Chain A
Amino acid sequence: MSQATVLGHSHCNAFAEAKAENPGRWPAIAVHRLEDKRAKDDAVSIPAAVALLKGQPPGAPTFFAIMGAYHNLLGLLRSGETFDVLMGADDRPDGGATALVPQRALRSAISEQFEQSAKMRNLMAAARGPVFIVSTPPPKRNNDFILERFMRQKKQIYRGKAVEQFGVERPETRLKLWLLEAQLMTEWAESLGAGFLAPPAAASDEDGFLGENYYSDDVTHANAAYGALVLDQVAAILERSSKQVSHG
């Protein structure tokens, strides 16, 4: 069987925790955290990751849990007048918003990150088989939860203003920003010849927010149970990929 590699930043922690909690459940899936400010000793550098991918067997799929968090920069904290963005032709304006941001203006803001993705392209070029971009988890609905987790952090003051002075953005706006970024990630993945691994449906509530059972103990991440659902998705793709290889 081919080996699948999951490589990425902090969202990989959920996958690694899932593996640790379920020893032997996904033997053909390796999870690696890329080196960053808080992950050095237990993480791989970009050159090491490139070497690791080049050493994979031909046809081995690679899953990148990288990027896709820009919606958090735009929409975790309120930035002014309550705004809405229409998601499609059938979407109706949100009566709670006093300003509209044209969707294509917002998309151009989120898309900026893709123009600077040279490292990502280098990593993708090293992959030996199909490549997938892994979605970030859907946003959390619970503003009290988010505010409380923000308040625990030490860096919560900036230019004399605290998180609670900005306020946490409305959940529905947060969800729309995440959906827009997911759409753009899908289009970006397609443009690179990659697939996009959407979040597991079972992890979302009826409105599309991350189910509370899948919350990690911070603002943006999901937990090991969510990681397990994603690894099951990876395993299913790997199985299909293996069958195609054996039949080919």
Chain B
Amino acid sequence: MADHPYKSAPPRTSWRRSVGGVAPGEVDPVGDFGLTINRETNVATAGSCFAQHIARYLRKSGYNYFVAERGHPVLPENVRIANNYGLFSARYGNIYTARQLLQLFERAHGLFTPVEDCWKEAEDVFLDPFRPSVQPGGFISELEMRLDRDQHLKHVRRMFRKLDVFIFTLGLTECWVSRADGAVFPICPGVEGGRFDENRHAFCNETVDDVVGEMSAFLMQLARVNPKAQVILTVSPVPLAATARRDQHVLTATTYSKSVLRVAAEMLTNRFGHVHYFPSYEIITGSFSRGAYYAPDLRNVLENGVSHVMGLFMKHVAGEAPASAPKRDRDDDESAATSQAANDQRELAARLVEVECDEAGLDPEPNAASGN
């Protein structure tokens, strides 16, 4: 029988040998990856909901998860977490679209100033339209919101400048933009703040060209401020919660959205040598798992799915078995030192004040003296 290209191909190219005939937990769709990270690599993350899992896992696995905007150490760690510091590498909340990422970069570097840039919810409740959920309860004044945003964008600039690897999870193609200047909101105005106005807000469903164009613009600008930056793209396996297209079923809208993002990721990987695609989408959505990686709502991803993704990430990107990863938090050195100093400060303050007061003793504050 004549030889042909499939005959000598590696097992991973064969469905039977790498999917159909393999235990679900053993399926490994990662091809040649071309990038490794180590424990010194500054890894920053952004993206949709699924990116939060990647950030959490990296942090728990002892990798150098780079958090540029950690929150002031006067806030105990649990309070910083509750206020969305450390959820991603800066307090930008979920970034669902390529356009949102590009505009974040542009806003941080003074290249774009949106017209609609503050939502007043009440006399003392103001939201940042580009991250409406990051501050629980909102900001107390427009000035506070603007000052916090300036501070946030400063951290974003530092993050882009200092990171070694940027992991971005593409989440959606559907988005809502300002008719005035194209500023894209993470979520439709009126849902988590702001007021929807069809005269001011327009629906946009991005195409492959849109996503590739916006991501290319972002990658070029990132390279200018950080020539060494490597980028890992993933596509979120989380389906749309709802589509804004009345002519579509949410399932077909989801397929469109994820298909566009997956194609765009492939095109970007082919176009840029420093861009790499990691197939978390395939690991979660692949038929081999028979839907077992989804929660009963068939939308949210279960821990066993995240574990499969991150196990392969550790194997291929970090070059180690996930089991060997230490189960401890590890921050970048500077931030860890700051955090430790803050804990030390509170511990010492607690001791000093304790000599005088016992108010804290009646109802002890958990972080004041725990040293954690």
Chain A interface residues toward B at CB < 8 A: 9-11, 34, 36-39, 66-70, 72-81, 83, 86, 88-89, 91-93, 99-106, 108-109, 112-113, 116-120, 136, 150, 153, 155-156, 158-159, 161, 163, 166, 218-221
Contacts and interface: CB of A to CB of B under 8 A. Distances in A.
User: Main SS of the interface on chain B?
Assistant: helix
B52 interface: no
Contacts of A77: 345, 348-349, 352
A76 B368 CA distance: 13
Contacts of B124: 88-89
B356 A218 contact: yes
Contacts of A34: 362
Interface of B: 71-76, 79-80, 82-83, 123-124, 135-141, 143-144, 147-148, 151, 338, 341-342, 344-366, 368
Contacts of A113: 360, 363, 365
B140 A103 contact: yes
B358 A37 contact: yes
Contacts of B364: 116
Given A100-B147, A104-B136, A104-B140, A221 B349 contact: no
Given A76-B349, A220-B356, A103 B144 contact: yes
A185 B362 CA distance: 16
Contacts of B345: 77-79, 166
A92 B355 CA distance: 36
A109 B342 CA distance: 14
B338 to A, nearest CB: 6
- Which of A105, A106, A120, A159 counts the most B-chain CB atoms under 10 A from its CB? A105
A100 B353 contact: no
Contact of B72 (A38, A79, A118): A79
Contact of A158 (B83, B141, B344, B361): B344
8 contacts: A11-B359, A36-B358, A70-B359, A89-B140, A105-B71, A105-B80, A118-B363, A161-B344
B356 A219 contact: yes
A105 B363 contact: no
Given A80-B73, A81-B72, A109-B76, A102 B359 contact: no
